[in-house]
Structure 1
Amino acid sequence: MTTPTPERAKTAAGVMSRAKDLVAKVDAVPRVDREPLRRLSAPAAGLIRPATGLQAFASALMVVTLIGIWIVADAGITGLTGDGDVASGRVYLGIGLVAGASVVGFAATSAAYYLTHIADLRVRRSVRLAVAERLGVLPLGWFDSSASQKALSAFGSDVETMHTGVAHGRMELVQSVVTPVPVLVWLFVVDWRLALVAAVGPVVNFVLQQRIMLRAMNHQVEQGAAVADLVGAANEEMRDAVTLRVAPVPAGPTRLLAAARRLHRVVVDSHLEQEARGSRIATLIDPVFGLLVVLVVGVILIEYSTLTPAGLIAFAVGTVVVASAPAAVTGARFGIVTAAMAAVRIEELLAAPALTAPAAPKTPVDNGIVVDEVSFGHDPAAPVLRGVSLTVAPNSFTAVVGPSGAGKSTLCALIGRHHDVDAGAIRIGGVDVRDIDPVDLAHRVAILPQRAVLLRTTVRDNIRLARPDASDAEVIAAARTAHIHDRITALPDGYDTVIGDGLSLSSGESQRIAMARALITDPEILILDEPTAHVDPESAARIHRSLAGIARSRTVLLIAHQLETIRHAEQIVVVEDGRVTRSGAHDDLVGTDGVYRRLWEAMSS
């Protein structure tokens, strides 16, 4: 017996590695981490395992069907040349095998798919509950990020895509892999030479099929890039349409025309290659072509009396089963890979950093705000705020102004703990916002965004959305404070009017309903992010009249571009390039050189 040596082990490992590389080059199915799919499917593992066993058993019964067909064929031929009674008995035996295998196989497959669909329901429920739980602890700022939009939009389709992997993919893969194996073994028992011919076809089939799919995938990538280039060029040309109409016509093709020509060339090249090469290769890998080869060789073997006619009939059936396996395996694997990719995206959503809750929550003593050397950035390499410090007295009215993109909205979002700061601290009533219970903080701080979002339900339910147990009297009181009560009572069904059912509300009216929703919780701090940015002058005036009453009993922060509306603010904070550069009353800021003074002069001119 030869003793393994390190050198031989290393050589064997090298051979295995090269073999894997070769398979990877040939295989068109992309490599994807399947662990997320296994983890998400874990709650249903107790159903998936027996279902897999049932499907494997049902698939293996195909060889029993094949043997039954062989027995019937052999008995029929024997009956023509020998004892008819013996042949008749064997015919019944063969038919019994075929019928029994078919019935048992159908029952096993049905039971397997029943179990996998129950498993799929469990997985869906588990995943959706896990996502709902995770969404409940994510910081509000996450929902404004581009990552959240992609994650949430993909969530619905990803759960449906996982259905393919859990309920169908594994069963189809087991069926396509298990079915041809015992059939091929039986064919080798019948005639090993013809079995070799039947086995070569599927191998060539697999290799050529993978090459076709790899080429098709490369063409899809090229077409995707060409489409993206064309869309970008079209958007650019539409954006510059007015300029292009008055400018001289440029010499040579425009970017849009060049992009259109590129897409046309890629599509035509892909089509021609698929027609020229694909059709020829498709003929070679067609199971019918493989069957024809087996039949020709089988007839030759019968001529030399090395194969019986009944054996050739068995090969006629078995070859089709074996030759169809590569396409079935590839299709099933693609289904599982697609489900695995969906599971990866779902786990990325579940891995989004949660908003931490303090072990021992503290209660603020008042509604004053202190921003202490705060730095923050969605990308740590590009901070939005750098060393910002600010003090807002309790029950005061503070306005925040500055150029677009200076960090005003980000600063206000941090006060409501939509994100956690990278450095420094934000304190409300002397308590770091990270030490306040998130639910308590949400009731203390209300933020009204630039654009109001109203649901397709009654006006009453839209207002009490932030506090479902609010009474009708409290809803009306919040609407009165927001100066929207009279408009609501003028609606066809008053507070019971459903928004969206032919109801047309202006931006200002929608904003005041949203303001009433913010006030229904009686917040100690109210932050308004340019509430009049998208409303008409009359609505803007009504909103500012509302603010006059609101500011008497709570701390109000107002992000504003219209400086005339904040002249009487107790404090005006100027934010530039992620820093607080000035703060003070209107008269003080106008009297000193700086951004505020320049903005005021530009507005007044």
Structure 2
Amino acid sequence: MELLRPYRGRLVAVLVLQAVGALAGLAPLLAVIELGRELLIPGPADHGAVWTAVVCGAAGLLVRILFTAAAGGIGHLVDGELNLSLRRQLAQRLGRLPLGWYAHHSSGEVNGVVQGDVATLHHLIAHTPGEFTSAVVVPVASFGYLAWVDWRLTLVALIPVLLGLAVHLLLSTPERRRQGTAVGQAMGRIGASSVEFVQGISVVKTFGAAGRIHQRYRRAADDFADFFLGYVADSAGLASLSALVLSPPFVLLLVLTGGTLLIAEDSMPPVDLLPFLLLSVALTAPVAALGHGMDNIHAAEQSADRIHRLLSVRPLPQPARPAVPHGDRVEYRGVGFAYDDGHPVLHDIDLILEPGTTTALVGPSGAGKSTLAQLLPRFFDPTHGTVLLGGVDIRDIPDEQLYQRVSFIFQDVRLLRATVAENIALAVPDASRSAIVAAARAAGLHERIETLPHGYDSVIGEDAGLSGGEAQRLGIARALLIDAPVLVLDEAMSFADAKTEAEIRRALDVLCAGRTQLVIAHRLETITRADNIVVMEDGRIVESGTYRDLMAAGGTFAAMWRAQHGHGTDAQEGRH
């Protein structure tokens, strides 16, 4: 109802138009009934009455066509506007959410809301108001007319309606609704796992795990199939019973039986059986459609709930009074952070990144390295404490200015279905072709791009494909084009061979020259020349210093080094 509030006036118009159209739709049936009465009475027919019935029936049919078409047209226009509005709102909200939010929500889940859930509302908006209006107006009007003709046979005609409603109540219990919700959630999980499986197929194949991962997906699909079949089996008998008692043959057989008995007893004129043969089906048809309509409403409720939850996610607040940083010094002051579950991830972090220096974050998995690094480009805001850039709280820097000063490169580089040039210039859409080419050259990607069918105008995913290492270099070219003075780097290259790693390393050397760097280090030999190595455990800084100082101290870092490289020290030093 909250989503539909802006369209309430037009939806009321849909209900009124559909009600008039539904009532007018009974006119042809009533005209046939009156024609039957006139023609079946002994003696000559009253031509005036005959033509009056014909004209009224034709007029009713015309009114039905016009009014139901108008109701359907308005309903579809409202549906189109709501779809457009929701997708715009969702796109706007997704663009303002903390980047870290996406780490906990799969692309399949987001796509399910933006595409699937919005589309699910179509039937609710465009069709359900008309269907439910007809489901109320037609039976009520038909019941009133039939009761006026003969109340006894009317009660007989109501037996299928009452049976059908009773079955629908049994199919609409809270438990059944919970099961329906579970089915929708299971389908969402299957969709999300499909997307994630396809997106990660290159990594899966690299490690020869395609068969194992595929089996895991198949098990998930099989589990869903078993659950769904059980859900359907529980309701199959009731659904079949409902279809039987509401079917026209059953209704007509019941009415004919009751009418024949009444006629045989001379308690009802034979001509009065005609309206029951024509209108009794009108009593049951809307009830038969009611089950499908309720299914659509339940599905729409769940979709609207997911849409509402996404629209309710609080975006990062924008500064009321934007500030301009002075310089590129980065400072963490008493920073703590906890995710939504309240579990603290960082505890009172104090850290300074001087301009032009390299600071490496090392530590075991779950130590808080990634979270600490993600606070700098404002993937999240600290729970307490402050992150400063150039003496200014980053919360007081507009996003556009922050991302001009802070760039970040992670191993999983996302490429759009756009030209290579557009992918490189993603953050600088007005960049010249010469600047794009210069960035690609510096990243060591220009020669590869030149081999593509249309060079820089080749569309990734259509006539061009890049390997993982090439995508990484494209990400470096993006950062070079932005020319941000502060860089956040995830140096993990677990999926790169030695040749690709060397090429990426050379591109990184070009990118990092003279910039302030915060590096998440996974292999310790890559950061031996860092100006400051920060060792983290359980969300706290336990050691910091240069490589030689930390090795000489013989603490946590030295133990980590020995675990990775044995007892070697200087012999293992690599490039930073």
Give yes or no for the alignment of 1:546 onto 2:507: yes
Q: Could you tell me which residue of structure 2 aligns to residue 151 of structure 1?
A: 110
Question: How has the CA–CA distance of structure 1 residues 452 and 178 changed in structure 2, closer, same or farther, with 3 Å as cutoff?
Answer: same
**What are the within-5 Å matches in structure 2 for residues 393-472 of structure 1?**
393-472=354-433
Question: How has the CA–CA distance of structure 1 residues 113 and 364 changed in structure 2, closer, same or farther, with 3 Å as cutoff?
Answer: same
The one-letter code matched in structure 2 to 1:307 is: M
Q: Distance in 2 between matches of 1:409 and 1:425?
A: 17
The one of 44, 67, 74 equivalent to 2:30 is 67
Give yes or no for the alignment of 1:527 onto 2:488: yes
The one-letter code matched in structure 2 to 1:57 is: V
In the alignment, is the contact (CA less than 8 A) between 1:399 and 1:573 conserved in 2? yes
Q: CA deviation at 1:65?
A: 3.0
Three-state SS of the structure 2 residue aligned to 1:366 is coil
Q: Could you tell me which residue of structure 2 aligns to residue 346 of structure 1?
A: 307
Question: How has the CA–CA distance of structure 1 residues 272 and 441 changed in structure 2, closer, same or farther, with 3 Å as cutoff?
Answer: closer
Q: CA deviation at 1:151?
A: 3.3
Q: CA deviation at 1:413?
A: 0.8
Q: Distance in 2 between matches of 1:531 and 1:261?
A: 35
TM-score between both structures, scaled by the size of structure 2? 0.85
Give deviations 1:12-36, integer Å, cap 9, x for gaps: xxxxxxxxxxxxxxxxxxxxxxx23
Q: Distance in 1 between matches of 2:450 and 2:26?
A: 77
Q: Could you tell me which residue of structure 2 aligns to residue 300 of structure 1?
A: 261
**What are the within-5 Å matches in structure 2 for residues 8-23 of structure 1?**
none
Range with bigger deviation, 123-132 or 69-78: 123-132
The one-letter code matched in structure 1 to 2:4 is: R
The one of 294, 299, 320 equivalent to 1:333 is 294
Q: Could you tell me which residue of structure 2 aligns to residue 94 of structure 1?
A: 53
**Count of equivalent residues:** 542
Q: Distance in 1 between matches of 2:235 and 2:107?
A: 40
Give yes or no for the alignment of 1:174 onto 2:140: no
Q: CA deviation at 1:185?
A: 0.4
In the alignment, is the contact (CA less than 8 A) between 2:168 and 2:291 conserved in 1? no
Q: Distance in 2 between matches of 1:145 and 1:54?
A: 46
Three-state SS of the structure 1 residue aligned to 2:361 is strand
Three-state SS of the structure 2 residue aligned to 1:466 is coil
Q: CA deviation at 1:222?
A: 9.7
Give deviations 1:98-137, integer Å, cap 9, x for gaps: 2221121111111111111122222122212222222232
Q: Could you tell me which residue of structure 1 aligns to residue 557 of structure 2?
A: 596
Q: Could you tell me which residue of structure 2 aligns to residue 392 of structure 1?
A: 353
Three-state SS of the structure 2 residue aligned to 1:426 is strand
Give yes or no for the alignment of 1:476 onto 2:442: no
Give deviations 1:483-540, integer Å, cap 9, x for gaps: 3334434555443344334545332222111111012111011111125332222232
In the alignment, is the contact (CA less than 8 A) between 1:446 and 1:526 conserved in 2? yes
Q: Distance in 2 between matches of 1:588 and 1:478?
A: 37
Three-state SS of the structure 2 residue aligned to 1:105 is helix
Give yes or no for the alignment of 1:47 onto 2:10: yes
Question: How has the CA–CA distance of structure 1 residues 484 and 188 changed in structure 2, closer, same or farther, with 3 Å as cutoff?
Answer: same
Give yes or no for the alignment of 1:141 onto 2:111: no
Question: How has the CA–CA distance of structure 1 residues 583 and 472 changed in structure 2, closer, same or farther, with 3 Å as cutoff?
Answer: same
Q: Distance in 1 between matches of 2:328 and 2:463?
A: 41
Q: Distance in 2 between matches of 1:270 and 1:475?
A: 57
Q: Could you tell me which residue of structure 1 aligns to residue 571 of structure 2?
A: none
Q: Distance in 2 between matches of 1:425 and 1:265?
A: 49
Question: How has the CA–CA distance of structure 1 residues 566 and 278 changed in structure 2, closer, same or farther, with 3 Å as cutoff?
Answer: closer
Q: CA deviation at 1:478?
A: 1.9
Q: Distance in 2 between matches of 1:495 and 1:472?
A: 9
Q: Distance in 2 between matches of 1:135 and 1:265?
A: 33
Range with bigger deviation, 141-150 or 451-460: 141-150
List structure 1 segments (4+ residues) > 6 angstroms apart after TM superposition.
215-228, 259-266
Give deviations 1:144-198, integer Å, cap 9, x for gaps: 2227752333210122111111111111111111111111101111112222222
In the alignment, is the contact (CA less than 8 A) between 2:346 and 2:539 conserved in 1? yes
The one of 324, 340, 361 equivalent to 1:379 is 340
The one-letter code matched in structure 1 to 2:133 is: V
Q: Could you tell me which residue of structure 2 aligns to residue 5 of structure 1?
A: none
In the alignment, is the contact (CA less than 8 A) between 2:120 and 2:300 conserved in 1? yes
In the alignment, is the contact (CA less than 8 A) between 1:161 and 1:339 conserved in 2? yes
Q: Distance in 1 between matches of 2:48 and 2:557?
A: 104
Q: CA deviation at 1:220?
A: 7.2
The one-letter code matched in structure 2 to 1:521 is: I
Q: Could you tell me which residue of structure 2 aligns to residue 114 of structure 1?
A: 73
Range with bigger deviation, 144-153 or 299-308: 144-153
Q: Structure 1 stretches of 5 or more lacking a match?
A: 1-34, 229-234, 243-255
Q: Distance in 2 between matches of 1:308 and 1:46?
A: 47
In the alignment, is the contact (CA less than 8 A) between 2:453 and 2:463 conserved in 1? no
Q: Distance in 1 between matches of 2:390 and 2:146?
A: 83
Question: How has the CA–CA distance of structure 1 residues 281 and 111 changed in structure 2, closer, same or farther, with 3 Å as cutoff?
Answer: closer
The one-letter code matched in structure 2 to 1:90 is: A
Question: How has the CA–CA distance of structure 1 residues 178 and 520 changed in structure 2, closer, same or farther, with 3 Å as cutoff?
Answer: same
Q: Distance in 1 between matches of 2:342 and 2:94?
A: 27
In the alignment, is the contact (CA less than 8 A) between 1:170 and 1:336 conserved in 2? no
Question: How has the CA–CA distance of structure 1 residues 531 and 110 changed in structure 2, closer, same or farther, with 3 Å as cutoff?
Answer: same
TM-score between both structures, scaled by the size of structure 1? 0.81
Question: How has the CA–CA distance of structure 1 residues 314 and 498 changed in structure 2, closer, same or farther, with 3 Å as cutoff?
Answer: closer
Question: How has the CA–CA distance of structure 1 residues 289 and 487 changed in structure 2, closer, same or farther, with 3 Å as cutoff?
Answer: closer
Q: Distance in 2 between matches of 1:352 and 1:395?
A: 37
Q: Distance in 2 between matches of 1:54 and 1:224?
A: 33
Question: How has the CA–CA distance of structure 1 residues 414 and 118 changed in structure 2, closer, same or farther, with 3 Å as cutoff?
Answer: same
Q: Distance in 1 between matches of 2:102 and 2:228?
A: 39
Question: How has the CA–CA distance of structure 1 residues 191 and 432 changed in structure 2, closer, same or farther, with 3 Å as cutoff?
Answer: same
Q: Could you tell me which residue of structure 2 aligns to residue 25 of structure 1?
A: none
Q: Distance in 2 between matches of 1:51 and 1:98?
A: 23
Q: CA deviation at 1:598?
A: 1.5
Q: CA deviation at 1:433?
A: 0.8
Give yes or no for the alignment of 1:123 onto 2:123: no
The one-letter code matched in structure 1 to 2:270 is: P
Percent of aligned positions that are identical: 35
Q: Distance in 1 between matches of 2:427 and 2:182?
A: 49
The one-letter code matched in structure 2 to 1:296 is: T
In the alignment, is the contact (CA less than 8 A) between 1:66 and 1:318 conserved in 2? yes
Q: CA deviation at 1:281?
A: 6.3
Q: Distance in 2 between matches of 1:323 and 1:398?
A: 75
Q: CA deviation at 1:308?
A: 2.1
Q: CA deviation at 1:388?
A: 1.8
Range with bigger deviation, 317-326 or 281-290: 281-290
Q: Could you tell me which residue of structure 1 aligns to residue 2 of structure 2?
A: 36
Question: How has the CA–CA distance of structure 1 residues 370 and 46 changed in structure 2, closer, same or farther, with 3 Å as cutoff?
Answer: same
Three-state SS of the structure 2 residue aligned to 1:387 is strand
The one of 153, 160, 171 equivalent to 1:194 is 153
Q: Distance in 2 between matches of 1:394 and 1:400?
A: 17
Question: How has the CA–CA distance of structure 1 residues 268 and 389 changed in structure 2, closer, same or farther, with 3 Å as cutoff?
Answer: closer
Q: Distance in 2 between matches of 1:74 and 1:353?
A: 68
Q: Distance in 2 between matches of 1:227 and 1:132?
A: 23
